[in-house]
Amino acid sequence: MIVEPDLTNHPKFIQLKSKVGDGAMELLVRLWTHCQQNKRGQFWRGVNADYVEFVCCGRACKGRFFTALRDCGWIHEHEDGIEIHDWGKHNASLIARWRRDDKPAQPPAHLSTLPPTQTRDRTGQDLKGQVMTGPDGNNSNQGSQLTPTLEQAVAWFHKNDSGYTAQQVKTAFDSLEATKHPEGWWKFGNSMVTDWRSALSSRLALYDKKNSARRPAEGQSDEPPVPVKSAVVTLSEMRSAVE
């Protein structure tokens, strides 16, 4: 609370002192202190003359102090309360600090508002909101859909002429569904999959690699080898050959 050093020479103070006596300064200090208490400010909504006098001197004095303060211009009476003259103007810095302290803290930034980084999971996906492109060159986060339905997955591979059959896509789809996180997203190890197209393509390519390792080398027959007859010759067979 700021009190001007030349207050006692102000005409309004001299006028108030002539009406209430030497207690004029105490009346004003109590009045202004109440403005600061509990951040009340200069407008007191819903109060009356008795309230103001209790604040200033601890008792109601039949409106004598209230009338003196109002007539000298220290307070202004309104229909919905009492206003303390220019208190906010003289204490602007204090009010500004109140508003700054009362300002709610900013909520933590959502993941999508954070600046993009280059942190990626095992499928090459950016886990911090970086816009990625899938095998078709489109935005891999299109529609913010982390996992598709089986029908969507099959349709996407068919549309892009991948060469994979619906059964192959289903096998890869089921393997990712089997390790699905409880919150509904696929994962590779402990990493979150943010692009289901790339994840399914990677899984299908892995199956292709494993299957090709099991196929016979080019030029070799797929038929099982014919067992070689035993080279052991019995004694009877030797006699028959001599005869």
Q: What mean pLDDT value characterizes the chain?
A: 75
Selection from 169, 159, 239 nearest residue 203 by Cα: 169
pLDDT-flagged residues of the chain (< 50): 111-112, 114, 116-144, 226, 228-233
Q: Is residue 229 classed as helix, strand or coil in its secondary structure? A: coil
Beta-sheet strands, E only, within 10-156: 43-45, 75-78, 81-84
Pairing of β 75-78 and β 187-188: unpaired
- Supply the pLDDT for residue 203: 85
Question: Which pLDDT tens digit goes with each residue over 117-154?
Answer: 444 444 444 444 333 344 444 444 444 467 889 999 89
Q: Sheet of 81-84: strands edge to edge?
A: 43-45, 81-84, 75-78
Nearest to 135 by CA among 203, 186, 202: 202
Would the pTM of this model clear 0.85, i.e. be above it? no
At residue 181, the pLDDT reads 82
So where are the chain's domains? 7-102, 120-214
Pairwise CA distance, residues 212 & 107, whole Å: 53
CB 100, CB 170: distance < 8 Å:
no
Angle between helices 24-36 and 49-57 in degrees, nearest 10? 110
d(CA 63, CA 70): 10
Q: How far apart are CA 27 and CA 22, in angstroms?
A: 10
**Domain 7-102 maps to which CATH number in 1.10.10, 2.60.40, 1.10.8, 1.10.260?**
1.10.10
